[in-house]
Amino acid sequence: MKTIEIEDFIHAVYPMHTYLLTSIDKNEKTNIITIDWLTVLSRNPPLVGVAVSPKRYTHKLITSSKEFIVNVPDISMVDETLACGTLSGKNVDKFEKLGLKKLPSKTLKTNIIGSCIAFVECKVIDFKKYGDHTFFVGSIQASYAKEGFLKEFKPILHVKGNIFTTISGKTIKAKSSRS
Ligand SMILES: Cc1cc2nc3c(=O)[nH]c(=O)nc-3n(C[C@H](O)[C@H](O)[C@H](O)COP(=O)(O)O)c2cc1C
């Protein structure tokens, strides 16, 4: 066996599902960040966790507003998703720059992205710095999706750098060892 570097290890867990997180500044203006490092933590109560670097403008916003929304884009939004992951809301309004539509959320001050297909509104109940990222735990206040989400959804899967893929729709049923 050969020792692998941390970057090789990270890519052993890829492709990863890519999301767009929205959060608000002190004037309640919504910013967008692209995120791979997101996980479901609990069904009951429903909790999700996201790892955000303190270098991101979003880190400051989530730390002070204590809320964020997971907006789920489909593969048609791949260019906007890369742009939200390279531009900073500190210098640019990503909604304006990318022609994205803001819509009100159901329970929070943060807006949602109109062209995304599903939404999970979260209030931060805990956060802790681990290494070079902060892990924010969000308690789900509302979750909803557009028609077709369960049937036709083609997610954005991040492979590496600016390379993305999606699902073919082909599924494999594993043999059960139980029967
Ligand atoms: C596909 C992709 C996935 C990313 N995943 C994360 C992530 O999980 N956590 C993170 O802190 N930054 C991640 N980034 C980097 C941020 O999206 C990027 O630094 C962004 O410009 C920060 O925006 P902000 O300064 O407006 O918050 C990712 C970028 C890309 C392109």
Structure tokens given for 143 = 């979750």
With a Cβ cut-off of 6 Å, ligand 1 is lined by 18, 31, 33-37, 51-53, 56-58, 82, 85-90, 158
Tens digits of per-residue pLDDT, 14-47? 999 999 999 999 999 999 999 999 999 999 999 9
**Residue 38: inside a domain:** yes
pLDDT of the residue at 179: 64
Q: What is the pTM of this model?
A: 0.96
Tens digits of per-residue pLDDT, 91-102? 999 999 999 999
**Residue 95: inside a domain:** yes
Cβ–Cβ < 8 Å for 158, 18 = yes
**Residue 153: inside a domain:** yes
**Residue 171: inside a domain:** no
**Residue 176: inside a domain:** no
CATH number of 66's domain: 2.30.110.10
**Percent with pLDDT over 70 in the chain:** 99
Give CA angle at 144 (140, 150), nearest 5°: 120
Tens digits of per-residue pLDDT, 129-150? 999 999 999 999 999 999 988 8
**Residue 83: inside a domain:** yes
**Residue 110: inside a domain:** yes
Residue 25: domain span: 6-165
**Residue 173: inside a domain:** no
Q: Is the pLDDT of residue 87 over 70?
A: yes
How much distance in Å is there from the Cα of 159 to the middle of ligand 1?
Answer: 14
Choice from 34, 62, 157 to test ligand 1 binding pocket (greatest atom count within 8 A of CB): 34
How much distance in Å is there from the Cα of 84 to the middle of ligand 1?
Answer: 7
Number of domains in the chain: 1
How much distance in Å is there from the Cα of 14 to the middle of ligand 1?
Answer: 16
Please state the rounded mean pLDDT for residues 84-89.
98
**Percent with pLDDT over 90 in the chain:** 86
How much distance in Å is there from the Cα of 145 to the middle of ligand 1?
Answer: 23
Q: Give the pLDDT band (50/70/90) at residue 8.
A: confident
CA distance 9 to 49: 21
Per-residue buried b or exposed e for 72-111, using 16+ beta carbons within 10 Å of the residue's own CB: bbbbebbebbbbbbebebeeeebbeebebebeebeebebb
Q: Give the pLDDT band (50/70/90) at residue 152.
A: confident
